[in-house]
Amino acid sequence: MTRVAILINNYNNGPWVRACVDSALDQTRPADEIIVYDDGSTDDSPAILRSYGDRIRLIEGIHDHSRSGRASAAHAIAAAFAASTADHLYLLDGDDAYLPAHLADYEAAWAERPDAVMIQGPMRKIDAHGRDIGLFHEPRKHRLDYLSAIYRHHQTDYFYITSALAFRRDFLARVLPRVRADGVDAPADLYLTLHAVFSGPVLAVPAPTARYRIRPGSLAERNGLRGGRRVHDTRMRVACFNAIAAHYGRPPVRLWRDPTYLQQLARLWLPDWLTLPFARLKVALRR
């Protein structure tokens, strides 16, 4: 029988980490392993995590202030993975949570396509207090052939975030040591998803099975900003993809051929009434 593990990455998520761990324990298809890597939290997270005893495996790390937040997340995932023996690895941030059927729904998808290297899915958005604030579902993230879509549209934003992702063990064993080795300071979830499209089938389940917390000061909130932040993130994703594509001997994508990027630049530089032609161009190029 396939063994599954949930790898939780936590740093100073005291107000939310109990809900996170409880959601991992409360799965209709129980996890064989729940491994929590705490990156030297200075709040009450460690005490909360210790209270679970042997229901979870807790790894208490030491926070390295010389690492960026992205590097710390990559280190946490790698450390939790090294402690696991499971076949399928599910990622979960310490401030997010799963719905009860998360593992069951993903495993059902894997049963139909055992060769899939990665599965992702939409999420319910919640606020700092756990209140539902909407659906995080984007049709473009539900594709049959992600790599073809990337090269066709010269866009790379086809993937959900960390807590929506699950990977096959042999894929992570091969790719995790390469995270950050290509010289691109990209989030670990982005790096893994972009490697996945070169490695085998990627699936997307249709219904939300996880909760994505959007709270003041979080990465989720910052990524929702418009303007320069969106332009920067698009450039970063393309740089990451092109570095990975070079590793596989594949051609790069071009920012200037991405209509969404052109629209982002227009919104940043031009008055609103002048951005309409760029929106029409984006629609035309997607046909």
pLDDT value, residue 273? 44
pLDDT value, residue 177? 85
**Interval 2-33: pLDDT, tens:** 999 999 999 999 999 999 999 999 999 999 99
Residues with Cβ within 8 Å of 102's Cβ and at least 6 positions away in sequence, in order, are 23, 27, 90, 209, 210
Residues with Cβ within 8 Å of 99's Cβ and at least 6 positions away in sequence, in order, are 23, 124, 208, 209, 210, 211
Residues with Cβ within 8 Å of 127's Cβ and at least 6 positions away in sequence, in order, are 133, 213, 214, 215
Strand 57-60, strand 97-98: pairing:
unpaired
Q: Which residues on adjacent β-strands are paired with residue 202?
A: 118
DSSP for 165-222, please give it. -EEEHHHHHHHGGGTTTTS----HHHHHHHHHTTTS-EEE-SS--EEEE--TTSHHHH
What end-to-end distance do the CA atoms of the chain give, in Å? 44
The span from the CA of 173 to the CA of 188, in Å, is 14
Q: Residues 133, 126: contact at Cβ < 8 Å?
A: yes
Mean pLDDT of 250-256: 93
pLDDT value, residue 71? 74
CA 58 to chain centre: 22
pLDDT value, residue 260? 78
Tokens of 209: 């099975």
**For a pLDDT cut of 70, what percent of the chain falls above it?**
85
pLDDT value, residue 225? 43
Single-letter amino acid, residue 134: G
Query: What band does 39 get if pLDDT is binned at 50, 70 and 90?
Result: very high
81 has a pLDDT exceeding 60: yes
Tokens of 268: 């940043």
Lowest mean pLDDT among 155-159, 176-180, 240-244, 249-253: 176-180
**Interval 195-227: pLDDT, tens:** 999 999 999 999 999 999 998 765 554 444 444
User: pTM for this one?
Assistant: 0.89
Chain mean pLDDT for the chain: 88
The span from the CA of 88 to the CA of 80, in Å, is 13
Mean pLDDT of 78-98: 97
Farthest CA pair distance, the chain: 60
* Phi, psi (deg, nearest 5) at residue 181: -75, -15
- Domain 4-253: CATH superfamily is Spore Coat Polysaccharide Biosynthesis Protein SpsA; Chain A (3.90.550.10)
**Interval 148-201: pLDDT, tens:** 999 999 999 999 999 999 999 999 999 998 876 666 678 899 999 999 999 999
CA 17 to chain centre: 18
pLDDT value, residue 226? 45
Q: DSSP 3-state assignment of 242?
A: helix
Query: What band does 256 get if pLDDT is binned at 50, 70 and 90?
Result: confident
